[in-house]
Chains A and B, each alone.
Chain A
Amino acid sequence: MASTTTFRTFRAGWSRVPLIGWFFGALLAVTLERLVGNPLALAVGLPKIPALFGLDIMLKKPLLIPNAVLYVLLIYGLPMGIATRASIAPANRLATGLFRLPIVVTTVVYIGFLYAILHVWAEVNDYRALVLKLTLIAIMFTLSLNVINGYMGEFSCSHPGFMALGAYCASVFSLGLFVDNRFFGTALLPPALGPFLFPVALVLGGILAAAGALIVAVPSFRTRGDYLAIISLAFLFIVKSLIENLEYVRGPRGLSGQPDLASLPTVFLWTVACIWSINNFVRSTIGKALNAVRDNEMAASAMTVNTRRTKMVAFLFSAFWAGIAGGLFAHVLRYVNPGTFGIQTLAEVLAMVYFGGLNSVYGSIVGAVSISLLGEALRPLEIFKWIIIPLLLILVMIYRPTGLIAFKDVDVTALFRPKTGPGDEV
């Protein structure tokens, strides 16, 4: 009896940790890893710091799993647990102070804090940094697809095509302007300008993707459901074969040597911008019109909702962000070819959307992160990865048809609220 009550109070304690408390704990853990990670890894019998919490070596060296678990407990679990629990009172005081500031300032502080954690974590090795960047891009891509497949309830297969348009447009821009190469001749501008003009490259890519989206958006006025899904699939194939046959962008060989412009802070900031603007959009009444069109289009138009405008905005906005994700993707890998943007990418992003949760910003983040990590963990299985991920998807569809966290947008005020006590509002 006594032990259950202590357990309950122990558990209840965690609910009093404000977000900033968790951030403190995480920052402490990653800093600790930077300082003593290597010797600790050796001490517990690992060759080096496990890059992705041991997930990456899980299948390669299964015998080391206990060591990796021990490492993760010692470096993340224990310090985070102790630090967050011990700092509940000061963390809540800080959270209260931050909560009183204008919401913009508070948000910037939290985002800066989050970036610091990710930065320290990713500095440990290049593989981590790469996985992190690709995961952030996956978040943007998943969220953009969720706007159509979740919020608007159409089934778009065209998103890898939008991504390809963004990737190629941004690549041609940066390769043509800042790099001497065989494809586009000498650089037109000094490479030092690259970082400043990179946003322009990305936005142009986003705009091209949005323009491409017209091909799917206009038919969506008249067709819905399966037929629109087929049109969007056709669009994906059109884009892919177009690029494959375009000698100007070297056809199936792809473009390589993009300047190294997609640094971690750049990718992070674009991801934040993407989440922020999509979250803003879907929480506004204009954005909620997507749900109205999904749930009953006739009622939507009888209630003054301009359904064509709604569909058009949804497709162009969503394609824009898919295009931005594509531009970043091309500059992270510094190589693109049309083969990347095929059915497999489509399957992967669909898995992220449906696994994470439809109609949900949190769901997209969770889906993108978990499927990305799972993909890395399953990498040694090569092609079998493509049996396990779809299998997982089938299970999710059976047991939770709307995904893990459906219907949940980000409410920053709720997120940043200090947790001083039950019903104790500030």
Chain B
Amino acid sequence: MPVEILMPALSPTMEKGNLAKWIKKEGDAVKSGDVIAEIETDKATMEVEAVDEGTLGKILVPEGTQDVAVNTPIAVILADGESAGAIADPAASAKAAESAPPVAAAPLEPSPVAASAPAAPAVVNSAVASPPQPAALPEPDVPEGTEMVTQTMREALRDAMAEEMRRDGDVFIMGEEVAEYQGAYKITQGLLQEFGARRVIDTPITEHGFAGVGVGAAMAGLKPIVEFMTFNFAMQAIDQIINSAAKTHYMSGGQIGCSIVFRGPNGAAARVAAQHSQDYTAWYSHIPGLKVVAPYTAADAKGLLKAAIRDPNPVIFLENEILYGHSSPVPKLDDFIVPLGKAKIARPGADVTLVAWSIGMSYALKAAEELSKKGIEAEVIDLRTIRPLDIDTVIASVKKTGRCVTVEEGWPQSGVGAEIVAQLVEKAFDYLDAPVLRVTGKDVPMPYAANLEKLALPNVQEVVDAARAVTYR
């Protein structure tokens, strides 16, 4: 029976790719393990290996084809003794189609996950895969008339580091796979080539050790950027971050500073389960002696990272893997800095205040659109820096709206939302017309199953519901 080879998904977030090259030609024998084609994803060129054995009967998608959707049949493999004629046999191809999983036929777009239909990884985060048009967002830190260029957050972060490294010879970056591999998530692309191995340093897998080395170097006056492949692995190093980086200035009576940035992706990625998906915002925001930053737009990512590198204190810079590939306008300026500690109003409104940051912003902005259709105008505040917390901006908004909902992917207990609620109760109680509600990740470790993962994360509807509850509409 001829077997169809489908366009494979080669990363947790891939939806389509380019068929760069056929390594095997029609008529070639293939056995499992043979490389048959090369496929380009947004991050890399990957090889496709055959699983089934036989002869490459027919190539359905010629090389050079762009944007081939995942699960499109790209070739047919014939078993021993089958002729290419079998491909045309309708019965045979119907059978092949039958054996393909239901997902093959289904478009990869947001759909409720039915128990029987396997969910493609892309589905899980599709709610945030198409962020609201950031072009519409006001950029308070950009002078009027500035030319904007569209960049991914990945590029913006890279540019921020490159600019600061050009400016200051004491800035260097270290971490796992940051140099030769160009970054596990390709954030340090090109840095080794420009700055060399003295300043772009691959470390062994020794988070506790290299975080400590970074802190020590910072105590000696250098300005390290320490990349954690993800913040999940910074747990190995959290003692050096808190006990050494955050406290030494205080313990030394102000003698010893620690100008260091710890950065990397934080929060849930797609389908990587409990040990690889959690939000550490609240953890670090608890610690005096640290600053904590978490950008949502590419422009903020660039301006805030540059500010973080220049800051004389330890800064925890929390990125988000799902946002890395998202594009938004970045001002074309020689030295674009966004000050730490300042929230911004991403969308003005008078009826309810939504407070979010990082990927939480995508839920908040989408909810604001939904609410607007119902005649409720939400003011969306992007905190950008979590510590020091710009509570004044939140209070000013709440004075206007009288209602507030916080949005975060982290857990509810002792979360950032809990802190905002507490401060509003202490400082703005008289302006509140309703209890402040929190939309958070569910109080469970992140499950792997697609349906459960979706439930564990906050979603747009929960934000809409909370906003309607506090506006009594």
Same complex origin of A and B: no
Interface residues of A (CB under 8 A from B): none
